[in-house]
Structure 1
Amino acid sequence: MIRAAAGMHMRRPSLASLASNASAELPWQPGIVRFYAAATSDGPTIPEIRIDDNLSLQKSPKNVESSGEKRPLVLLLSWLAAKQRHLSNFSRFYLDQGCDVLTIKIKPMQILLPKSGSQVLAKNVVQFLQHTEQQDKPLLVHTFSVGGYVYSEILQSMLDAEKEKEITSRIIGQIFDSPVDLDNIPIGMSKVLLKNQTMQTGLRKSLEMYQNLTFNIAGQHHLRCSRLFHHNPVKAPSIFFYSDADPITSPRAVERAIGMLKEVGHESVQGKEFKGSPHVSHMYKHREEYVSTLRLFLDQIDYFKKVSSEESSGTSSEKTESAV
């Protein structure tokens, strides 16, 4: 529907056809995004516990009892069409620090039909977090691209389910990598898919019309999540990773989001802008800078501060023994 309207003579994808192929990409989703993150993590593979089609859990084999802090659970909210091997760069980083990792993936139809899709996913995540084995764990949130929207759905489900902030109070940090505000999808997607400016304009208008036509089905829910994202009630430390070369995530939109969070009382919110890296590829293009910035951010959180201190002490002891 959308591509045909833009003058691209392709078969029109219907909602029914997308529903029958839940792993299909959105009509405007660029396939190149799936290749942006490199699979270069080292070390033995840590088994995944498959919870359902959207959720999988990895448990860290590292003993962190000496830190004196409870082992955190990282909520890793994927970008669309990401493969596990691409996400392993990030999961390995947290597993090596003694964190368990819950990877959360979303399918296109779950975004197109939030009430039967993303909101059901969100409730499943909250139920998992309320389970006896998970209910006392600190939570660290790390989102990518549309994962920012998914987090807003999860956050809303948390607020609906809790009575005394027993879930949201467990969130110790929030990391947003290339967050996409759904209001900017028409502009971002048209620039990614097409080079010709006239065709970009046609596609952008088609996408805007699509959003308007489906407002009662999806748009109102996306708008609610966008407002929640910009007025996040969780005041845990936050950081935004973005780039001046990202055709989907506008640097100015990210900076406005940071400003709005500060206005509503977020005392610890910061941004890191990279140069020249495409969407969700900042870790791949600027690995050392990305990791060092992430470590500095995490060091303001007690658990990671103690783990980092113990790792430094261990390294110093090894050097001393080697010198002797």
Structure 2
Amino acid sequence: MGTLSGNLQRPVIAASAVCIASISSDFRDKFWPNKSSDTCSSLEQANSFSLPNSLNEPKSSWVSKISVSKLSNLSFVTRIRIPVPDINNLIPVSRSSSVSSFLYSSLTSSHALINAYQSAELVKAAKPASYTYDVSSTPSEVLYRWHLPDPKSIDVTGSSDCSSVKSRTVVVLLGWLGAKQKHLNRYAEWYTSRGYHAITFTFPMSKILSYQVGGKAEQDIQLLVNHLADWLEEDGKNLVFHTFSNTGWLTYGVILEKLQRSDSSLMGRIRGCIVDSAPVAAPDPQVWASGFSAAFLKKNSVATKGVTSEQSATIKEGNKTTVEAKPELTETALLVILKKFFEVVLNIPTVNRRLSDVLGLLTSQQPSCPQLYIYSSADRVIPAGSVESFIDGQRRNGREVRACNFISTPHVDHFRNDPKLYSSQLTQFLDYCVLTCCTSS
């Protein structure tokens, strides 16, 4: 994989330089938002304060000296009331390298601090719904974001058992290739409007292109795993995973691997897994080429196109040959190049071995929780046959599996194209795997 990273290093560095230049031009807009900005609630503003004005006193840089591991320990935070820095009122950046270093460390620590602090405060707050969580974008893309339950969805009197179960469940949304936080917001809002917590996790494309086994990408996943482990420290708290495409599916596999290594008992706290537009059980260059082509071309890709009602009826009859859409010449050329590229990359020993380990775990060592697979016969990235084959294998292994074929919807676009069916599938699944205890009582 080192060869791959080296070949991609120069274009990635060039792209980074362009990004830095564009970021510097609107730096003030990023960190000095207008007073009318709604990214923070009035309660958050009341609990926050500005960083010190003087940079000449090393002791004032208290945020950069706090241990992130301690801050992410929720039991530690719940015992000590820690003031939350207001990262929307940061000090200006000078050309001094020491100032830049201070600002960077402060941002990083502040992000971890707010994450842990608000998660802990949610547990003991009389009205937890009054907290909102939304950290303004930093120069580097937000890795993951914690979304709190909608105030209207929470029974603050405590008379509803189901409300309590929901407020102690986090749904972890793992994005598809090229997904950004804004793309996952609609899914997070669906869960939070029903009383659940939600975490949206995305990978910038650059991190995937420069992937190295055990490198920065997997270290980022470890940060999320540490946060989830902290959340699960208290009895009665649970997780549900919702993965998108092969990227989200593989991320889920790495998370399971790390949870098993840190504390295998945490696997029993996973109540369900929803798999949207995946999986393919083996590294397939064609699938990877189609996924990257769709991510690069976005709406110009044939993968984003659905089928007509007449074609949908044809699919239901089992005849798929008449609904095969042909990509444009540009996409066809890109697919050929990407397929050749991944035929090489996926056979690099270290990469192949890492993928085999993760896919092997997902095939034979998933948690014993129920699984829901959402897919489509019209998906031009992940073949429906691959999903159905994997489902059959899981059932043979004794797993409890539900599945819904949306027939005519494009790759990872089932919710937008058929929100009613999508919502009903999620609701039924969550009622079964998360809320069984409270609905039966």
| TM-score, normalization by structure 1 | 0.73
Partner of 2:154: 63
* Conserved 8 A contact 2:271-2:434: no
Deviation of 1:245 after TM superposition, in Å, equals 1.1
Q: Secondary structure at the match of 2:373?
A: strand
CA–CA separation in structure 1 for the residues paired with 2:437 and 2:422:
18
Q: Could you say which residue in structure 2 is the equivalent of 1:184?
A: 284
Any stretches of 5+ residues in structure 1 without a counterpart?
1-11, 25-43, 311-324
197-206 or 58-67, larger mean C-alpha shift: 197-206
- The yes-or-no answer on 1:263 pairing with 2:396 is yes
- TM-superposed deviation, 1:222: 1.7
**Equivalent position of 1:33 in the other structure:** none
Matched-pair contact (CA < 8 Å) for 1:141–1:174: yes
Cα 1:198/1:121, change in 2 over 3 Å: closer
Pick which of 80-89 and 186-195 moved more.
186-195
For 2:277 and 2:385, how far apart are their aligned partners in 1? 12
Are 1:48 and 2:134 matched, yes or no? yes
Aligned to 1:126: 225
Distance 2:224 2:355 in 1: 19
CA distance in 1, matches of 2:258, 2:133: 28
Name the counterpart of 2:414: 282
Match of 1:155 in 2: 256
When structure 1 is superposed on structure 2, of 118-127 and 51-60 the one drifting more is 51-60
Match of 1:205 among 318, 321, 340: 340
Q: Shift in Å at residue 109 of structure 1?
A: 4.4
Match of 1:295 among 427, 432, 437: 427
Query: Residues 49-92 of structure 1, C-alpha deviation per residue, up to 9 Å, x if partnerless?
Result: 57994121111134243225362011111112223332122111
AA partner of residue 18 (structure 1): V
Give the TM-score normalised by structure 2: 0.55
Cα offset, 1:271, TM superposition: 1.3
Structure 2 unmatched runs, 5+: 1-5, 19-37, 40-131, 295-300, 302-326
Match of 2:11 in 1: 17
Deviates more, 1:61-70 or 1:241-250: 61-70
Q: Partners of 1:305 and 1:16 in 2: how far apart?
A: 55
Bigger radius of gyration, 1 or 2?
2
Distance 1:210 1:188, change over 3 A: closer
Q: Which moved more, 1:196-205 or 1:58-67?
A: 196-205
Aligned-partner SS, 1:140? strand
Supply the RMSD in Å over aligned alpha carbons: 3.3
Between the aligned partners of 2:148 and 2:17, the Cα distance in structure 1 is 26
Choose from 118, 139, 143 the match for 2:243: 143
> Aligned ranges for residues 18-37 of structure 1 at < 5 Å?
18=12, 21=15
Spell out, residue by residue over 1:79-130, the C-alpha distance to the aligned partner (whole angstroms, 9 max, x if none).
Answer: 1222333212211111112111111112334432241133212221221122
Residues 271 and 370 in structure 2, CA contact (< 8 A), matched pair in contact too: yes
Residue aligning to 2:48: none
Moved more, 129-138 or 116-125: 129-138
| Residue 49 to residue 201, structure 1, CA distance change in 2 (3 Å) | closer
Q: Which amino acid aligns with 2:276?
A: D
SS in structure 1 of the partner of residue 173 of structure 2 = strand
Alpha-carbon displacement from aligned partner over 1:275-321 (angstroms, at most 9, x marks no partner)? 221110000111111111111111212437747x99xxxxxxxxxxx
Give the secondary structure class of the aligned counterpart of 1:279.
coil
Distance 2:17 2:285 in 1: 20
Given residue 430 of structure 2, which amino acid in structure 1 is its aligned partner? Answer: L
| Greater share of residues in helix | 2
- Match of 2:257, SS state, is helix
Q: Confirm whether residue 75 of structure 1 aligns to residue 176 of structure 2.
A: no
- Looking at structure 2, the residues matched to 224 and 253 of structure 1 have their Cα atoms a distance apart, in angstroms, of 19
Cα distance change on mapping 1:81 and 1:202 into 2, 3 Å: closer
| Alpha-carbon distance change, 160 to 16 in structure 1, aligned in 2, over 3 angstroms | farther
When the two structures are aligned, how many residues end up with a matched partner? 274
Q: Conserved in 2, the CA contact under 8 Å of 1:258 and 1:269?
A: yes
- Residue 367 of structure 2 aligns to a residue whose secondary structure is coil
Alpha-carbon offset, residue 187 of structure 1: 4.0
Q: CA deviation at 1:227?
A: 1.4
Contact 1:49–1:57 (Cα < 8 Å) also in 2 = no
Q: Read off the aligned partner of 1:274 and give its amino acid letter.
A: F
Provide the C-alpha distance between the structure 2 equivalents of 1:198 and 1:124, rounded to a whole number of angstroms: 38
Matched to 1:239, the amino acid is L
**Structure 1 residue identity aligned to 2:355:** H
Amino acid at match of 1:83: K
